Structure 1
Amino acid sequence: MKKLISLLTLLLIISAFAAGCSRSKTSGDGAGNADGQVTLSLFSTMSNEGEKKAFESAIAKFEEENPDINIEANLPGGGYEDMLRVKMAANDMPDLFDTHGWSQLRYGEYTADLKDMDWVENLDPALDAILKDEQGKVYAYPLNQAKDGISYNANLLEEYGIEPPTTLDGLMTALETIKEKSNGDVVPLWIPGGDNWTIAQIFDEMATPLLITDKENSHGEQLLDGSFDWSNYTLLAEKMKEMQEKRLLNEDVLTAKLSQAPELMAQNKIGFTFVGGSLGPDATELNPEVKVGTMPVPAVHEGDQPSWIGGERFTLAAWKDSEHLEEAKKFIEFLAQPEVAKEIAEGTSSPTGLKNAEADTYYSKYYENFEEVKVQPYFDRVYLPSGMWDVMATTGQELLADTLTPEQLSKKMEEEYKRLRSQ
């Protein structure tokens, strides 16, 4: 009897051990299943419905061709950075993740080197400085490129006799014209401030013409060495507050959500907005009559020229410590096939990041119209320490909520800039 009990105890221990092994993960978030299928965890910053739809379609095609690999995609929108910071601190990164402009400075130590992959020879040289370092390491694969500016309702501008403005003063005049001629039925500048990162997007885009591109007002060196006088930043907050006081912004600016943009644009309720990406095709799908244009960021100082703001938009990096690195690279190689790269770029309404894949996007004719306009890098990625994006978002919210004055906003930016630089 004792032998029988001992044998049963031994079998229970073996069974428990085996069950524990079958449940254990084999990489940070990705797992190997008992049937041999590998699950790769993937995090991306994509937030617009059109973008997500295009990416999820590519994932489905890959899984169909590779039934032994499952992609578990996470698209947390505005919560992305906080989630990735936690994962970096725990050194438990997703198998695949979007570096969203920080491939080297923020995520570099976590990324696998992709330089030996076939697609690298077709990487657009315009992205070399962003995705490669001096030693030749390639940090991420670019799903597309960014040419950010301002979106607008092309039909409304034509109806009201407004040309896409090239200066900030011209933009202010255009906004006032829309308010007057629409009798208040159209929001001149619509901001989905309920997703506060969209406020940071505006400040980030406009900081470049304010502080960088004009030769007489260029503060790049001072921003990099820490000697920048932040009173030079106050004009942006003053202009934003002026727009709000003149009722040129949506009244629900602090609660409006990004997901509302396509429907409002389709209803001809928006004149201008800094929302880009798939806004145009999403709105036109809802209303085939609507036409959404895009234009560069207008110049702030007299004599300066407009600028596109850009670089990498969406990328995929592979976690260097992933136990499924081979499978992660296989997915990236799939995405880099010219026909797949083209589909994703067109689905996200942005140019591809590869020389051998050309996309005919919703905004192609507008990019052609402004092909002489230079692309400037995102302001925060070059001139601000990591963490300042969140500061731009929160201070912008506080400005629009009347809890910060423009001068106080600049002071708070200065304090956080110095604190983060010292870390």
Structure 2
Amino acid sequence: MFKRKTDSTFALPRSRQRSKPAILICAMAMLAAVLSACSGTTESSSSSSSGSSSNSQEQVTLTLLVDNSQDAVNQTNAYISAFQKLNSDIKIELETRPNGSEGDNTVKTRLATGDMADVFFYNSGSLMQALSPEKNLLDLTDEPLMDNIMDAFKPAVTYKERIYGVPSGSTTAGGWFYNKKIYSQLNLTVPKTWNELMENSSKIKAAGITPVIGTYKDSWTSQLVVLADYYNIQTQVPDFANQFTSHQATIAGTPATLRSFEKLQELHDQNFMNKDFLATTYDSGLKMLAEGKGAQYPMLSSAIPAVAQNFPDQIEDIGFFAQPGDDASANGLTIWLPGGAYIYKESEHIEEAKKFLAFIASVEGTETVAAASSPTGPFLIQGASIPDSVPTVVKEMLPYFDSNQTAPALEYLSPVKGPSLEQITVEVGSGIKTAAEGAAAYDKDVEKQAKQLGLDGW
């Protein structure tokens, strides 16, 4: 799965200290003992000097690695603060990493070099399976905390029938944000088919407003039109995920999946995106949407907290609809399951890490994160609910869930996910490649990963 934006306002990952040679450790310990004896004092913490018991349990420090997007950091800090109030003997140090392919490489490199944090948040689904879970992640299958996790999530963090993670946040939808004021001014209605979306876009363009916001400077955003189309694919080819996994079907060779790339090409051919879409960032795209300088933005609902925080006066001006297919009677929503919270298998603080994951996977944990950042869809924790205070744009998605008009994105149904999709969709969206060429390129991109996974048929 693609990632959210890279936010340079947060620090890059901090390298963890590794163990020193035994001789050096012993020498340092002996020196400390001598100095302590000479001074005639005993070591005391600042908490002891302020009146806390000197017999309190020694504090353990866990390291936690997450992506550096604004919302991810906000949510994670909320988890940490609430957890530490309940567990004063455990301190959690936050580390951050980039998003997108750079972030993927950071996670893989740190696992490969034995430099991973005790706990880390990362994608569920196909990208999790590419981390060699048996080797790198702690098996949580038989842990009591798994009783709190809804069955709908477990396959997304399962590898060879073993479960390795818990959901870190709420579900997310892939579709289209739209500016309600612009729609109202131009007497537009929410489209149920792709042709209706294109007709709306033509009217918006004629009014001198950018119809579709493109933010290809952050290349991961270029994938939305293709990835959010999976509900429409599944309605036409219900068994596509299995056929794709076994190499019985390809992207370029299946009309329903090729259509996703054709939709992306059409946005370019109709000149519907802002002229500077290749230089426009995700942050700028949200600003365009909120200020009415762009009418529609294909994006994940995970953008809602950022809009609510940065443009609180405009959040109620923003609506959301599922990516339309070609049949109005089969309109539905592609959803992304929450990312996973994982424990590094070689962590020196396994029990403390389990305690932290148990908090994340609790109703109290969901309430904590919901208070810090508006949920972008239902939680997958038993007994958890969405607060009534969420913006209207979130509530507009709930009917899709209530009527069972949702489908997981392909990466949760198949382990086959190529690493270069965002580069390919940039090329299609900017006219460098045609839809057919992009689909064929992606078929080649996924082949290497499928072979690495040892999948039959490849």
**Taking structure 2 as the reference length, what is the TM-score of the superposition?**
0.75
CA drift of 1:294 comes to: 2.0
Q: Which residue of 1 is the match for residue 77 of structure 2?
A: 56
Q: Distance in 2 between matches of 1:46 and 1:309?
A: 25
Following superposition, the deviation at residue 70 of structure 1 comes to 2.6
Q: 1:73 to 1:128 in 2, by over 3 A?
A: same
Within the candidate set 119, 123, 131, 2:149 is matched to 123
One-letter code aligned to 1:189: V
Structural mapping, 1:350-365, within 5 Å: 350=376, 351-360=378-387, 361-362=390-391, 363-365=393-395
1:374 maps to 405
Say yes or no: does 1:312 pair with 2:337.
Answer: yes
Query: What are the equivalent positions in structure 2 for 1:101-112 lying under 5 Å apart?
Result: 101-102=124-125, 105-107=129-131, 108-109=133-134, 110-112=136-138
**Distance verdict in 2 for CA 1:157–1:380, change over 3 Å:** same
Kindly state the Cα deviation for residue 42 of structure 1 after the two structures are TM-superposed.
Answer: 2.0
After TM superposition, list the pairs within 5 Å mapping 1:24-423 onto structure 2. 37-45=59-67, 47=69, 49-65=70-86, 66=88, 68-78=90-100, 79-102=102-125, 105-107=129-131, 108-109=133-134, 110-132=136-158, 137=163, 139-180=165-206, 183-185=207-209, 187-209=210-232, 211-215=233-237, 219-229=240-250, 230-231=252-253, 232=255, 233-285=257-309, 286-289=311-314, 290-300=316-326, 302=327, 305-345=330-370, 347-350=373-376, 351-360=378-387, 361-362=390-391, 363-370=393-400, 371-383=402-414, 385-386=416-417, 388=418, 390-423=419-452
Partners in 1 of 2:186 and 2:71 — Cα distance? 29
Q: Which runs of 4+ in 1 moved over 6 A?
A: 13-16
Q: Is the 8 A contact 2:177 2:298 kept in 1?
A: yes
**C-alpha displacement at 1:132, in angstroms?**
4.9
Give me the whole-angstrom Cα distance separating, in 2, the residues matched to 1:104 and 1:287. 34
Q: 1:333 is matched by which residue type in structure 2?
A: A
Q: Which amino acid aligns with 1:61?
A: A
**Against the structure 1 CA distance between its residues 373 and 14, is the aligned structure 2 distance closer, same or farther, given a 3 Å change threshold?**
closer
Deviation at 1:366, TM superposition (A): 0.9
Per-residue displacement from partner, 1:207-230 (whole Å, max 9, x unpaired)? Answer: 442x33214x86444312213242
CA RMSD of aligned residues (A): 3.2
- SS, match of residue 397 in structure 2: helix
What CA deviation, in whole Å up to 9, does each residue of 1:145-174 have, x standing for no partner? 223322222332233222221222222122
CA distance in 2, matches of 1:246, 1:73: 43
1:134 Cα deviation after fit: 7.9
Asked whether the equivalents of residues 54 and 348 of structure 1 are also in contact (C-alpha less than 8 Å), the reply is: no
Which TM-score applies when normalising by structure 1? 0.81
SS in structure 1 at match of 2:63: strand
Superposed displacement of residue 138, structure 1: 5.1
**CA separation in 2, counterparts of 1:213 and 1:46?**
36
SS at match of 1:213: helix
> Mind listing any 5+ residue stretches in structure 1 that lack a counterpart?
1-12, 23-33
* Partner SS state of residue 298, structure 1: coil
Other structure's SS at 2:62 match: strand
Paired residue for 1:6? none
In structure 2, the CA distance between the partners of 1:116 and 1:15, relative to structure 1 (3 Å rule), is closer
